[in-house]
Structure 1
Amino acid sequence: MHPSGYDRLQSQVIPGYGSLARLAVALLSSSPAAQVSGSSILVAGCGTGAELLEAIAQRPDWNLTALDPSEEMLTASRQRLGEAPSISWHQATVEGFVAGGEAAGGYAGALSVLVLQSLPDDGSKLAYLSALAKCLQPGAQLVLVDLMRSSLTSLEPQLDAAWDRFQRASGLDVTRELLPSEGLHPIGLARLTSLVNAAGFGDPARVFQALGFEGFLLQRQG
């Protein structure tokens, strides 16, 4: 998808999308490590720059590192931010960034918004979370926002129907049956807990939810 249409489509698909970046940055900014002026913050999968724009607005003192494997998305984000001097740009996955030796566990916090859901649970999710943990100082926090699989199986048909209605009411041009999780790999809370523990984080603390989209605070152990 071209970056110009990404945010518009996401707002039609994801309940509360317009507030996700603001909330994610506010949560991380309130964490003990990232409260410190001049903190280094990692934005994984920066996309079109929504979290970066909000971070500069709320915390202009932060030193930001923006990662995205897509050259197209990274270019769109840089154009949107106007080459802000507080941002270091890298076309890379988090795993590649860590393998390059640039992370060094020096980050006071990280943001991962709508990234983990796109990775299959074949070792890719664990590799991504483990790489994020390696980027963080002990005690630093990660704000993770993703599509999750409901633990309330009896409500799944209603939740799927509500999501369908939400998208239609948001003006999405539907020409075929909606498949809310098409191309994505959501997991349940129990599986997420297992993965983040194996990666080096404590148990996930849910901080918000809108239908199937949930946000968590994770703290780097050690």
Structure 2
Amino acid sequence: MAVPQGYDLVVQQLIPGYASLARLAVALLAASPKAGRAGAQVLVAGCGTGAELVEARAQRPDWRVTAIDPSAEMLAEAQQRLGEAGIVWRQSRVEELQADACFAGALSVLVLQSLPDDGTKLAFLSALARSLEPGGQLVLVDLMAPERSPLQAQVDAAWLGFQKASGLPAADGELSALTHGLHPIGTARLTALVNAAGFSDPARVFQALGYEGFLLQRAA
């Protein structure tokens, strides 16, 4: 998969608050009992072009970070941005890592949404849970399916208005191509999946239109 031109700018134009989302995700994990330790091992699952890695380096340069992504192009973009120092790079999916209980914490931003709910989402979440120490935490951010509401049409229109006001070129009545082909789920389904994977109930820590962030903890 090629990296879309200007990917980081497009995502900022698409998601309200995205510019500070990586900062919030890292700060949440840094405040956790496990990943808060000096020199903690942290996994960034689906590192993309490296927004969370930039924040991790700024806030917690002591962390021993493993960054994975199945896309060679995304990894190359992130490596060019950050260099080699202090980061272990792997072109891999979390299901292939075989890193049982290796990490004190993990970040997964805009990854689960791209996986179909045919067992693939559960396999991804289960692999993340296995990779964490008991009590380790995961910050998960994704596009969520909207709840039924008579105001949903207004929310969708506001999202298009936000994109237009942010300078994102898009055809009238269409969301960005980055939202096409995704598989968002609702909060009830997410709760069922994370519980089945071995996590606690999700605690919501971020919401902007359809995008929501959750803090999860692996069962001790």
Q: Percent identity?
A: 66
Please show how residues 1-222 of structure 1 align to structure 2 within 5 Å.
Answer: 1-2=2-3, 4-84=5-85, 86-98=86-98, 103-179=99-175, 181-222=179-220
Residues 162-215 of structure 1: CA deviation (Å, up to 9, x unaligned): 101101111111235313642111110000000000000010000111111101
Report the Cα offset of residue 150 of structure 1.
Answer: 2.2
1: CA distance, partners of 2:70 / 2:12: 22
1: CA distance, partners of 2:11 / 2:162: 12
What is the number of equivalent residue pairs in this alignment?
A: 217
Residues 95-122 of structure 1: CA deviation (Å, up to 9, x unaligned): 1113xxxx12120000000100111111
Amino acid at match of 1:96: E
User: Bigger shift: 51-60 or 166-175?
Assistant: 166-175
Asked whether the equivalents of residues 207 and 216 of structure 1 are also in contact (C-alpha less than 8 Å), the reply is yes
Gaps spanning 5+ residues in structure 2: where?
Answer: none
Asked whether the equivalents of residues 204 and 217 of structure 1 are also in contact (C-alpha less than 8 Å), the reply is yes
Amino acid at match of 2:117: D
Report the Cα offset of residue 220 of structure 1.
Answer: 0.1
Secondary structure class of the residue paired with 1:15: coil
Secondary structure class of the residue paired with 1:47: coil
Residues 44-78 of structure 1: CA deviation (Å, up to 9, x unaligned): 00000110010010000000000000000001100
TM-score, length basis structure 2 = 0.95
User: Bigger shift: 177-186 or 11-20?
Assistant: 177-186
1: CA distance, partners of 2:44 / 2:5: 20
2: CA distance, partners of 1:217 / 1:82: 29
Q: C-alpha root-mean-square deviation of aligned residues, in Å?
A: 1.2
TM-score, length basis structure 1 = 0.94
Asked whether the equivalents of residues 42 and 65 of structure 1 are also in contact (C-alpha less than 8 Å), the reply is yes
Gaps spanning 5+ residues in structure 1: where?
Answer: none
Report the Cα offset of residue 4 of structure 1.
Answer: 4.7
2: CA distance, partners of 1:126 / 1:187: 12
2: CA distance, partners of 1:44 / 1:4: 22
